[in-house]
């Protein structure tokens, strides 16, 4: 996640359409976040490029399911995570936020109790 956490610090160019900068970041985030989760998960779904945000679901090997959302990369750049009943539960449990900084992976594992 080192490259992702470095790249998220950049200023994202605002546009009414998807920019190359956003598409490249989405691809990088998807690759690195999936690599972190893969040993822990049965299933990972990350959205296709949207409009300056990223969301998805993952199911841990103990069958707990989580929804996550990375807010508008042009603005707040927050990582929201909450429990979900299934891969269509967008309202799920209470919202929790993890900073997208150097301690992100460690804080994610603490939240997931891994």
Task: Provide, rounded to the nearest whole percent, the portion of the chain with pLDDT above 90.
Answer: 91
pLDDT of 105 reads: 96
What tens digit of pLDDT does each residue of 61-112 get? 999 999 999 999 998 888 999 999 999 999 989 999 999 999 999 999 999 9
Count of CB atoms within 10 A of residue 57's CB? 21
Q: Look at the block and give the residue holding tokens 């299933």.
A: 43
Q: Which residues pair with 79 in a beta bridge?
A: 70, 98
pLDDT of 39 reads: 97
Q: Which two tokens stand for residue 95?
A: 């919202």
pLDDT of 68 reads: 98
CA–CA distance, 10 with 55 (Å, rounded to integer):
20
Q: Are 81 and 98 in contact (CB under 8 A)?
A: yes
Q: Where are the alpha helices (DSSP H) in the chain?
A: 2-7, 20-37, 104-112
pLDDT of 106 reads: 97
């Amino acid at each position: 996640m080192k490259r992702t956490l470095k790249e998220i610090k950049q200023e994202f160019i605002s546009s009414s359409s998807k920019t190359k900068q956003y598409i490249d970041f989405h691809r990088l985030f998807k690759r690195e976040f999936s690599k972190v989760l893969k040993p822990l998960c049965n299933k990972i779904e990350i959205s296709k490029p949207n409009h300056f945000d990223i969301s998805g679901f993952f199911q841990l090997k103990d069958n707990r399911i989580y929804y996550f959302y990375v807010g508008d990369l042009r603005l707040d750049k927050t990582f929201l995570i909450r429990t979900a009943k299934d891969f269509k539960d967008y309202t799920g449990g209470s919202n929790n936020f993890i900073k997208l900084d150097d301690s992100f992976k460690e804080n994610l594992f603490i939240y997931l109790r891994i």
